[in-house]
Amino acid sequence: MRTRTKLMLGGAVALTGLLVGLRLIPAGQAAVAPAPSRQDTARAASPASSAPLPTAATPGAAPAPSPTPTVAEAGVDAEVEALITVMRERYGARLDEPSVQIRLLEELMRYFQRKSPDRWREELLAFLQKAFPERYQELAATLRNREDYEKWVKDNDAYLRGLGEKERRAAMWDARNRLFGKETAERIWASELKNQAIADTLRTLDATEGATVTQKLSAYKQRLQEVHGEQAQAYLARHQQETLNRFLDLSSIQRELTQMPPQERSRNLRTIRQELGLDEEALQRWDALDQTRDARWDAGARYLAERQALAKEHSGAALEARLQEVRARYFGAEADIIAQEEAAGFFRFERPRQWGRN
């Protein structure tokens, strides 16, 4: 009985923590139910046969009060009510959008799979019925489609991995369209479609011969505007670094930047960043970082030249002793880190320089 009592009290403590965390009760009111008295424990532990038999109700007598729910029962109800409040606030006003429905269901799937691994689906559906009764049928159907799609991906994993990128993408879209309907599938995976459109554009730009950095940047910006429409500026603001890196990572852009004189390269890097939405303060920080990186790579090149010369004259402990001096002269406090990298076989300054990236 003591173990059962501890479990019930533990459930009350966990529930209180949840409600405080969700700000549904003030932290100062978080209290645990008092422990049962020794007499209460003794009565609860007595055999069922010792309890008095029920008697017929006396006519006119007041009805017996409803039994008070146990701590565990009250905890479950309060936890569900708290979760309903959170989910309605987070998703309720946007459930016309299929992608929002998917996010809601995936969040609830994670929650109920942790809470009840064997009965999670049954509990999730009961939750949807209580939290969103007017959308229950729609959400339940979306959940079934979501599960069917997940099973299809799992069952066809080996097949999909054996396909090329284009064929794999086509197979996955065929399954999505079949399970959700083409229009709904495109709304659910709208972000993926936009991202893929930009990736295809970058691939085409990278393969375009004769176009300058400026011309490719202009085409990239135009495509961003076409794909994101009225949300283009908001998208750039949220994904500034990602948008910039994807352009700088093009091999053709890196080749052109490598062939430029240092001052022209600096001007081009600044223009790229400015055109993709960075403000003057950010541009100045990048200018300073570029200068720091240039100095480090220059030091790295000189260090590698000295290292190669020393390796021709020394080996073993003698070589390492000389290299410690050279590293300290070029890299100061970072000398030990570079020594550890080289001991592991990594030579950072033998990597290709990625302008604007390292």
pLDDT in tens, 213-269: 999 999 999 999 999 999 999 999 999 999 999 999 999 999 999 999 999 999 999
Can you give 169-191 as a three-state secondary structure string? HHHHHHHHHHHHCHHHHHHHCHH
The closest alpha carbon to 248, from 219, 217, 275, 225, belongs to 217
Contact in structure between 142 and 105 (CB atoms under 8 Å): yes
104-137: per-residue pLDDT in tens?
A: 999 999 999 999 999 999 999 999 999 999 999 9
Other C-beta atoms lying within 10 Å of the C-beta of residue 301? 11
The stretches of 182-261 forming alpha helices (DSSP H) are 182-188, 190-207, 213-228, 232-238, 240-248, 251-259
Which residue reads 């569900």 in tokens? 80
Q: What is the pLDDT of residues 194-205, one digit of tens each?
A: 999 999 999 999
At a CB cut-off of 8 Å and minimum separation 6, what does 80 contact? 127, 130
Question: With a threshold of 0.75, does the pTM exceed it?
Answer: no
Q: What 3-state DSSP class applies to 228? A: helix
Residue 8 has a CB neighbour count (10 Å cut-off) of: 16
In the chain, what are the domain boundaries?
1-30, 74-188, 191-278, 299-358
Whole-angstrom distance, CA of residue 297 vs CA of residue 277: 27
**How far is residue 235's CA from residue 224's CA, in Å, rounded to a whole number?**
9
CA distance 310 to 288: 33
